[in-house]
Amino acid sequence: MPATTIPFPLFRFKEAAAAREMPRDREEDRRRSRFEAVVLPHLDAAYNLARWLTRHDEEAEDVVQTACLRALRFFDGFQGGNARSWLLTIVRNTFYSWVAQHRERELDAPFDEEIHTVESAGGGPEAELLRRADAELLRQGFAALPVPFREVMVLREIEGLPYKEIAAIAGIPIGTVMSRLARARGHLQGYLIAHGAAGGRS
Amino acid sequence: MSCTGDGGQRELQITAYLDGELDLAGVLDLERHLEKCPRCAELLAAQRAMQQAIGAADLRFRPTLPQARRLRRTLGAPPAAAWWRQPQLRSIAALLLVAVGAIAGWSAGRRWPAPGASRISAHPETLAHPETLANPETPAIAEQVLASHLRAQLSGHPEDVASTDRHTVKPWFAGHLDYSLPVIDLAAQGFPLRGGRLDYVGGRPVAALVYQAGNHLVSVLVWPAGRDAAPGSAAVASGAAAATSSRGFGLRRWTQAGMTWWAVSDADSLDDLVRRLRAQLPQR
């Protein structure tokens, strides 16, 4: 798919209006328009990722806002590849620098990359129980995952991204994406079984 | 718990399998293993069930209206105060405009509304049109095709007739349209047919086929060639599909089997689907 997008009528109109107002900033307006056309379609994905990482509405907005300003600064270096990956990478990096300032402890939470899944209770009922997990329980389960697992699960299961793109965004090898997903699913499965059963859901 | 003593390799395989990221050799190997390993089969069943539950639940967080407004301001966009800047409302507005355009077109006794009459003015800033789609009418059609897809996605039921059986879908269209179209199932190629719906594009009812591509939907809109008021469409009749993109959605247009075809989706595999669909259609 061609990476260049040529904005349609309104932009021309807006540019014309802007040019009348302050002609010397016309170039900057053009750049802004291009930037907006690239970033705007992925703003919801950016917010979703930030919201899952911070687990907080206002903090998510802060992170996305900061990420957008950074993106605007780096925009000249954007070569017109995958805009979604590009923006989500910046959102993720912004989150990590934000969390280092505000919630350092969060990243110290121990997690190991080794795989050891939950011991199954055996039989089909487990699959049945998991299939009936509702949105509320799933939200809690996702939120309970350590950040490195949560981010790959959100990118995979909510954004539906392929491993290659997740690897690029999280800056990890594809093999690590796979093992983190395996581990995250083990965690989540354990959480859903424990809390679903305790919550009286059957 | 999956197989012990393999260092978690089977579990990794199951993970990649669930995500459609396992290569053919791996799939064959795993499927052979699953036949004789109840523990791995059970793990797969449990994780597949969990994935289905996640897919059925809406876990996406969306910015609230004031948040979206503030974020747009950061981008340098005008604040999203006006209702026509809300994507959902915009799509509804688009639907109304298309409907009004259609009615006006018909009642005026014309087969086609005047150029621009049905143009979706609620989507003013979004459309891209590279040189291949330079025909002045085409962007308007492209906007409507994208609006059709977005509308269908937002409504939660992207098809009026939900069936994976093309022998159900084809006759359904026959009862609703004055033309018939080839209906191809691409399940074997990894893009199962979900069904079909009717839509309005260019002020007339057209067929839309819905395919599943991983987690994404693909809408394929089809109508008789030469009736879309786009004389330039002959230029792409036998060549490669014309490509454009808008708001992260890809659009492909080509002419084949006497029909004009439009495919629209945010799936990365859109080109693959188009290629496979074109291979299955009559060449002329």
Q: What is the CATH number of the domain that holds B203?
A: 3.30.200.100
The structure tokens listed for B145 are 């095709």
Note the pLDDT of residue B154.
72
> What pLDDT does A128 receive?
87
Same domain, A103 and A131: no
Do B121 and B253 lie in a common domain?
yes
Do the domain assignments include residue B239? yes
Chain B residue numbers with beta carbons less than 8 Å from the beta carbon of A139 are 57, 59
Size of interface A-B (CB pairs under 8 A): 177
Segment A44-95, tens digit of pLDDT: 999 999 999 999 999 999 999 999 999 988 888 887 788 999 999 999 999 9
- B1 and A51: CB-CB below 8 Å? no
* Judgement on whether residues B22 and B163 belong to the same structural domain of the protein: no
**Predicted pLDDT at A31:** 83
Contact B18, A153 (CB under 8 A): no
Residue A120 domain flag: no
Q: Which of B11, B53, B243 sits opposite A1 (nearest CB)?
A: B243
Select from B57, B61, B214 the Cβ nearest to the Cβ of A51: B61
In the listed set A40, A73, A108, which residue is the last one of a domain according to the structure? A108
State the CATH number of the domain containing residue A194. 1.10.10.10
Supply the ipTM of this predicted assembly. 0.79
pLDDT digits 0-9 by tens, B97-146: 777 766 765 665 544 444 433 333 333 333 333 333 444 456 778 888 88
Chain B residue numbers with beta carbons less than 8 Å from the beta carbon of A6 are 128-130
CA distance A70 to A87: 10
Which pair of tokens denotes residue B167?
């022998």
Check: CB of residue B49 under 8 Å from CB of residue A128: yes
* Within a domain: A24: yes
Same domain as B212, residue B118: yes
> How far is residue A108 CA from its own chain's centroid?
20
Q: Which pLDDT belongs to residue B125?
A: 31
Distance from CA of B64 to the nearest CA of A (A): 9
The secondary element (H helix, E strand) that includes residue A197 is: helix A174-198
Is the CB of residue A113 less than 8 Å from the CB of residue A176? yes
Domain annotation covers residue A177: yes
Q: Please state the length of chain B.
A: 284
List the single residue in B1, B50, B76 with the smallest CB-CB distance to A120. B1
Residues A103 and A161 in one domain: no
Tally the domains of chain B: 2
- B9-18 helix and A174-198 helix, angle to the nearest 10 degrees: 90
Answer yes or no: is A30 within a domain. yes
Inter-chain CB proximity B70 and A65 less than 8 Å: yes
Question: Do A13 and A104 have their domain in common?
Answer: yes
Instruction: Give the closest-approach CA distance of A107 to chain B in angstroms.
Output: 22
Q: So what's the pLDDT on residue A19?
A: 46
CA dihedral B124, B128, B134, B138 (to 10 degrees): -60
Comparing CA positions, the residue from B18, B263, B114, B34 lying closest to residue A181 is: B18
- Shared domain for B228 and B169, answered yes or no, is yes
| Chain B residue with Cα closest to A118 | B1
In a domain, B242, yes or no: yes
Structure tokens, B221: 């809109």
Question: Chain A interface, mutation test: which of B51, B120, B126, most A Cβ atoms within 10 Å?
Answer: B126
- Nearest CA to B103 out of B116, B115, B123, B117 is that of B117
B70 assigned to some structural domain: no
Are the CB atoms for A16 and A127 separated by under 8 Å?
A: no
Examine residue A43 and state whether it is found in any structural domain, yes or no.
yes
**CA of residue B23 relative to chain centroid, distance:** 25
Judging contacts by C-beta atoms under 8 Å, the chain B residues touching residue A61 are 63, 67, 70-71
DSSP state of B244: E
Q: Is residue B153 part of a domain?
A: yes
Q: State the best of B74, B149, B246, B266 to mutate against chain A, taking most chain A CBs within 10 Å.
A: B74
Residues on chain B touching A37 (C-beta within 8 angstroms): 125
pLDDT for A146 equals: 93
Query: Is there a domain that residue A97 lies in?
Result: yes
Out of B2, B61, B77, the one facing A40 most closely (by C-beta) is: B77
Distance CA B180, CA B258 (A): 11
Answer yes or no: do B198 and B249 share one domain. yes
Contact B75 A1 (CB under 8 A): no
Task: Name every chain A residue with its beta carbon within 8 A of the beta carbon of B270.
Answer: 1
* Final residue belonging to a domain, choices A53, A76, A108: A108
What values do phi and psi take at B205, rounded to 5? Answer: -70, 135
Residue A115 located in a structural domain: no
Q: In chain B, which residues have their Cβ closer than 8 Å to the Cβ of A114?
A: 8
**Looking up tokens 């879309």, which residue turns up?**
B228
Residues A51 and A134 occupy one common structural domain? no
Shortest distance, CA A121 to any CA of chain B (angstroms): 9
Domain count of the fold of chain A:
2
Q: Are strands B259-265 and B204-213 parallel, antiparallel or unpaired?
A: unpaired
Range of the domain at A190: 125-198
Domain range for B48 is 9-56
Q: Are residues A66 and A103 in the same domain?
A: yes
What residues in chain B have per-residue pLDDT under 50? Answer: 78-82, 85, 110-136, 229-238
B54 → closest Cβ in A72, A120, A157: A157
Average pLDDT per block of 10 residues along chain A, 202 residues long: 43 47 65 85 94 94 93 85 93 92 67 52 72 92 94 96 95 95 94 74 44
Inter-residue contact A91 to A78 (CB < 8 Å): no
A151 shares a domain with A97: no
Q: Confirm whether B176 is domain-assigned.
A: yes
- Flag if A6 and B21 touch (Cβ within 8 Å): no
Smallest Cβ distance to A135: which of B15, B58, B216?
Answer: B58
> CA torsion, points B92, B98, B100, B105, in degrees to nearest 10?
180
**CATH number of the domain bearing residue A103:** 1.10.1740.10
- Residue whose C-alpha is closest to residue B254's, from B269, B245, B242, B268: B242
Q: Is B220 a member of any domain?
A: yes
Three-state secondary-structure class, residue B217: strand
